[in-house]
Every structure is written in C-alpha cells, then in structure tokens.
C-alpha cells in the first residue's frame, strides 16, 4: 500500500443520507472536519464520489462510494457543537405541538411567539426542541421551512436526511401548497384576487424589514375574503405563490389592509379596539405536499386561542373557512360555493342532532339553515305576510296564456 493510499479514508453513502449535500454528510459523520478543509480537498481533487471529482455542494446518492483524505488529528479532536439539555417542560411543550407523525415527517402546530430557529438573543426556539421529537428515528429531526416568530400554525419537520431533501425540493419548486388564515383591518374591495408586488429589503432596517420596490424580487399572493365584520375587519385566506420574507404581511399592508396585530407593517392602524387581541392574527392553516414514501400529505392546524377568540368576537362564521381557494377555482362562483359548503355541513350537524330536535318544546326559537336563531325582524315579516319567505312563485304562474 502506498503512502497516499494509507492517508485516504472511504465510506459508502447510506439510505438515510440519500439526496443531501456532501458538506452535510461531513457534518453528520465527520463533525470535526472544518469546512475550509473540505473546500481545499475539493479544489485539489482529493474528494471523489465513485471515482469522480466531487464538490462540497454536490448532492450525494445512496450506494455511492466516497473517498476522502484522513483529517488531521486536531480536526478530529474538535468537538461537535451541542445544544442545551432539554427540561421536562421543553419536552412537554414539543409534544403538545405535535399534530402529525409518520416514518418520514412530523408536523407541528407552532405556537405564536415561539421562534423557529435561534439567533441573536433567541435561545428558546423550535429547532432547540427537536431532540424531544426524535422518537424511534436514528437521527435528529430537521427543519425544512420556517414560520415567523409571531406566526402560528403548521410547520413541517423531516425525520431523515432523505425526507429533508425531498421536502426541500418541494418547497423550492413550489409544488408544496401552503394556506394561511389572517384577520385584516378593513375589507378589500375585490373579494378574491392576486397581489403581484415585488419585495426588497428596506434600507436601514438591517434586513429585518421588507418593502414594495420595483427592483425587488417578484412576489405573488392569492387571497380570498372568507367573511367580513361590516367594514371593520375581514377574515381572509392567503396562499403565497412565492416565498419571500414577510410576504403576506407586506402584501396585505400594501393594499391598505394590514393584518391585525402587525404593528411592524401596519403601524397603529393594525390594531382593533375592544376585546381583539394585539397579537399577530396570521396562522398557517393547511399544508399540502407530496410525501417521500408515496402519496400526498394534507395537514390542517387549529388556530391559537387569541385567533379563535377574535373570530368569535367579530362574529365570523367558522363554516365558511372550510372552503379553500383551490376548491373555488374549480367549482361554482365564490359565494355559491361557500353557501353550498355551509349548507352541507349544517345538514350533517342537523342529522347528528336529530334526537335533540325531537325533544324540543313548542317554545323553542326558530332557526335558519345554519342553525342560528332567526332575527326578530325576519320573524315579524313572515308572521305578517302569513307566507314563507323562501317560497318561490310557481313556474305555471309565469306561463303566457294561449291566444284565442
């Protein structure tokens, strides 16, 4: 054996590392190897995959044979960075957010106010809790996308490097579908449409704030007004067609309807008076994505307490939120589809409560088609005319008389 061969090491890429970058493989299996040293090996041709020169950014595949130099002793002795130990409260918090788990994926319903990843002065975050969600997997789960600290809702976690690579590709090619719910100040003039405004980092904000600018990156958001509280506020469904920082928040503020609680982009005008919470009312409601093990995953996350309380306080009908933008695009017009879905859902509820209705007394209040008490004005009008308000004239009455 030559001196050169003695200084080389090799490994076969396992299934769990299929699709990840080469430098990620070193972080997992040779954690003490500095990135600068890897780059030097790559430039000099000392890193090979199946006999071919490899770069640190190359995607690797299961079964490939990686050949590399044996790292210096000082590099091997360099310890891997470790996070702080988890407390019982941390473990309980992580498990309380879990809404879906399978062999390749975990979905959390992230709490508002909890950061996705750490940063300056941010030590408590989702990434730091992932050791509590390892379960029977051989490796630590991995984040594949982010939510703003104050945004709640569905957050996808990969349970293997292969799954992480799969999901990352789905997000990058926009095949993953994310649906958000928001409560905004005022009501958009157009009930359903698309916002197409380029976004760029705002100068002087240190990259922490975005704004609409002609030289920015193309940014598109689809939206639909689900329900409205007069002219005071609207409950909207949002679907980002691009993935820019703070995109939904900036777009809604740009059209004059900031998300309730978003003082960063809406200023003082983003807050409603009364009992409405001052927290951000933006929630990742639904995530649809192809699954690495076949089929598709479709997970919905319930809104947090402050959001639910605001929906109730503003009188929004929860039934209307069950009709998605994509459903409307393929079906009847928006209002007709929303009413049809509400009626169908209410019919199921009435069937389930059939026994309760039989036991009602004659003094029970009349209800409309979705189970809400009829207004007094409507009841008086019906009693006065003595006819059903929903009764339509017979088609025969409109038939023209035959001429003699």
Q: In whole angstroms, what is the distance from residue 383 CA to residue 374 CA?
A: 13
Q: In whole angstroms, what is the distance from residue 65 CA to residue 125 CA?
A: 37
3-state SS assignment for residue 334: helix
Contacts of 213 (CB under 8 A, 6+ apart): 198, 199, 200
pLDDT in tens, the chain (404 residues): 444 554 678 888 877 777 888 988 888 777 778 888 899 999 999 999 999 999 988 988 888 999 998 766 444 444 444 567 899 999 999 999 999 999 999 999 999 999 998 877 778 999 999 999 999 888 899 999 999 999 999 999 999 888 988 998 898 888 999 999 999 999 999 999 999 999 999 998 877 899 999 999 999 999 999 999 999 999 999 999 998 999 999 999 999 999 999 999 999 999 999 999 999 999 999 999 999 999 999 999 999 999 999 999 999 988 888 766 666 555 455 556 566 666 666 666 566 556 554 544 444 444 443 344 444 444 443 444 444 444 445 544 444 444 43
Class of residue 306 by CB neighbours under 10 A (exposed 0-12, middle 13-18, buried 19+): middle
Task: State pTM to two decimals.
Answer: 0.67
Going along the chain from its start, the domains and CATH numbers come out as 3-76 (3.10.290.10), 88-172 (3.30.2350.10), 177-328 (3.30.2350.10)
Q: What is the pLDDT of residue 347?
A: 63
Q: Is 90 a catalytic residue?
A: no
Q: What is the DSSP letter of 304?
A: P
3-state SS assignment for residue 366: coil
Q: What is the pLDDT of residue 381?
A: 39
- Active-site entry in 50, 90, 136, 148: 148
Q: What is the pLDDT of residue 250?
A: 98
Q: What is the pLDDT of residue 206?
A: 72
DSSP H stretches of helix in 138-283: 161-172, 247-254, 263-266
> In terms of residues, how long is the chain?
404
- The pair of structure tokens assigned to 170 is 């789905």
Q: In whole angstroms, what is the distance from residue 395 CA to residue 403 CA?
A: 19
Q: In whole angstroms, what is the distance from residue 58 CA to residue 331 CA?
A: 44
Q: In whole angstroms, what is the distance from residue 239 CA to residue 217 CA?
A: 17
Residue 241's nearest CA partner among 189, 306, 301, 193 is 193
């Amino acid at each position: 054996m030559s001196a050169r061969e003695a200084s080389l090491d090799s490994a076969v890429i396992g299934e769990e590392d299929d699709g990840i970058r080469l430098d990620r493989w070193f972080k997992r299996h040779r954690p003490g190897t500095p990135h600068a040293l890897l780059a030097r090996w790559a430039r000099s041709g000392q890193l090979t995959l199946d006999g071919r020169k490899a770069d640190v950014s190359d995607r690797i595949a299961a079964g490939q044979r990686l050949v590399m130099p044996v790292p210096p002793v000082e590099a091997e002795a360099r310890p891997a960075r470790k996070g702080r130990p988890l407390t019982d409260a941390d473990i309980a918090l992580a498990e309380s957010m879990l809404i879906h788990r399978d062999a390749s994926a975990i979905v959390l319903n992230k709490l508002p106010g909890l950061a996705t990843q750490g940063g300056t002065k941010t030590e408590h975050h989702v990434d730091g809790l992932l050791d509590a969600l390892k379960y029977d997997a051989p490796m630590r789960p991995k984040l594949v996308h982010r939510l703003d600290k104050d945004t709640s809702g569905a957050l996808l976690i990969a349970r293997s490097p292969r799954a992480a690579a799969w999901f990352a590709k789905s997000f990058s090619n926009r095949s993953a579908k994310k649906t958000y719910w928001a409560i905004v100040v005022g009501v958009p003039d157009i009930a359903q449409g698309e916002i197409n405004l380029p976004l760029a980092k705002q100068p002087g904000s240190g990259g922490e704030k975005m704004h609409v600018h002609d030289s920015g990156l193309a940014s598109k958001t689809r939206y639909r007004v689900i329900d409205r509280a007069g002219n005071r506020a609207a409950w909207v469904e949002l679907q980002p067609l691009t993935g820019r920082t703070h995109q939904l928040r900036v777009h809604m503020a740009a059209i004059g309807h900031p998300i309730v609680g978003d003082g960063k982009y809406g200023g003082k005008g983003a807050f409603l008076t009364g009992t409405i919470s001052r927290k951000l009312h933006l929630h990742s409601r639904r995530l649809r994505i192809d699954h690495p093990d076949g089929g598709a995953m479709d997970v919905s996350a319930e809104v947090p307490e402050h959001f639910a309380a605001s929906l109730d306080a503003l009188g929004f009908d929860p039934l209307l939120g069950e009709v998605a933008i994509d459903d409307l695009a393929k079906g009847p017009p928006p209002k007709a589809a929303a009413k049809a879905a509400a009626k169908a859902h209410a019919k199921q509820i009435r069937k389930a409560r059939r026994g309760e209705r039989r036991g009602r007394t004659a003094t029970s209040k009349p209800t409309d088609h979705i189970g809400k008490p009829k207004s007094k004005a409507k009841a008086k009008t019906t009693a006065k005319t003595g006819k059903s308000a929903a009764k339509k004239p017979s088609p025969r009455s409109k038939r023209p008389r035959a001429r003699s």
